[in-house]
Amino acid sequence: MATLVTGAGLLGASFAQVAKTRDEKIYFFDPEPRAAFLRQKLGEGGYQLIRGDVRSLPDLVEAIATHRVHTIVHTAGLIGGRVQREISQAFDINVVGTRNVAEASRLAGVKRIVHLSTFGAYDWRRPLAGAITEDFPLGPGRAYGNFKVAKEMILEAFAAQFRIELIMLRPANVFGAGHFWGGSSGGARLQELMKAAIAGRPARLSAADAADVEYVYAKDVGAAIDLAATVPAPCERAFNIGSGQVTPFDDLVSAVREICPGLQLEIEDGERPGAKSESLDISLARKRLGWSPRFSLREALRDYHADLAAEQSAQP
């Protein structure tokens, strides 16, 4: 079997780490694939880079047909605040690109699409009462979340019309050793904490960065993607992927200091976000995909620290 991964970032690489163990052929489709990053994650073999842009339907169709792709893992897109700052370009990449992925799948006979959405698709302005289930209202109002909702709707329409198997994952705030080119502020924030601690320099964050967040480790998300690509198609299409709990920022800092006692933290003046307690309900992913997080936060941070330390030692 062959899988095309749109985007060569943290989530696609985390999926490929798992898929390689079952000898899946992996093709990364990205306009600027970071070969060094993928070598660090995956070694030298077992995957291929294709320079291509999801905004080009012909390039997508050619890649799928040439490599006889059975499954698409769709991760390509801009993220978070970058979408708001570059809203027109983000529409083309995120929304039009997703339409192209759906149309290319139809034209080239792809059997299954696994789409990486986000918990940011939920409308967090609504009254909250307990953990967030997959039927909670969507559309938070800002560009990133609304575009993610549009992507889901596009894929659902194509899947229903053309009988394409579709599974959409809505991860919480993903962290792991990545490059964060797409704009993930949450992942970049935690990477700054960890890299500063390893280097023995102060970590400088904005007041807005000191937020209570539900985290999920990239390697756990990679395992979820692999299950979504391989399990018999469930009747549900959307699944929350998280830890099931919100981590207060101060608790996160304490957990990092257990690994790196010398962590120095400087937070700019400003109003810190209010405390949050609402988490994702991940019971449906457990039931239908057979997935649950393998790493606790502290286990994930220790593994993350080891990955970053190995990455830094490998640099000339």
The pTM assigned to this predicted structure is 0.95
Calculate mean pLDDT across residues 190-217.
88
Find residue 46's DSSP bridge partners: none
Q: State residue 181's pLDDT score.
A: 65
pLDDT at 79 over 90: no
Two structure tokens written together for 24: 């899946």
- pLDDT tens digits for 275-298? 777 899 999 999 999 999 999 999
Q: State residue 178's pLDDT score.
A: 81
Amino acid identity, residue 274? G
Compute the residue count for the chain.
316
- pLDDT tens digits for 208-263? 888 899 999 999 999 999 999 999 999 999 999 999 999 999 999 999 999 989 88
- pLDDT tens digits for 14-42? 999 999 999 999 999 999 888 988 998 99
CATH number given to 2-173+215-242+278-294: 3.40.50.720
Q: Write the CA distances from 117 to 77, 138, 152, 181, 246, integer angstroms.
A: 10, 12, 7, 17, 19
* Domain positions in the chain: 2-173+215-242+278-294, 185-211+246-277+303-314
Q: State residue 295's pLDDT score.
A: 97
Predicted confidence band of residue 207 (pLDDT cuts 50, 70, 90): confident
Angle between helices 143-162 and 97-108 (to 10 degrees): 20
Strand order in the sheet with 47-51: 47-51, 25-30, 2-6, 71-74, 112-116, 165-171, 238-241
Which has more pLDDT, 166 or 278?
166
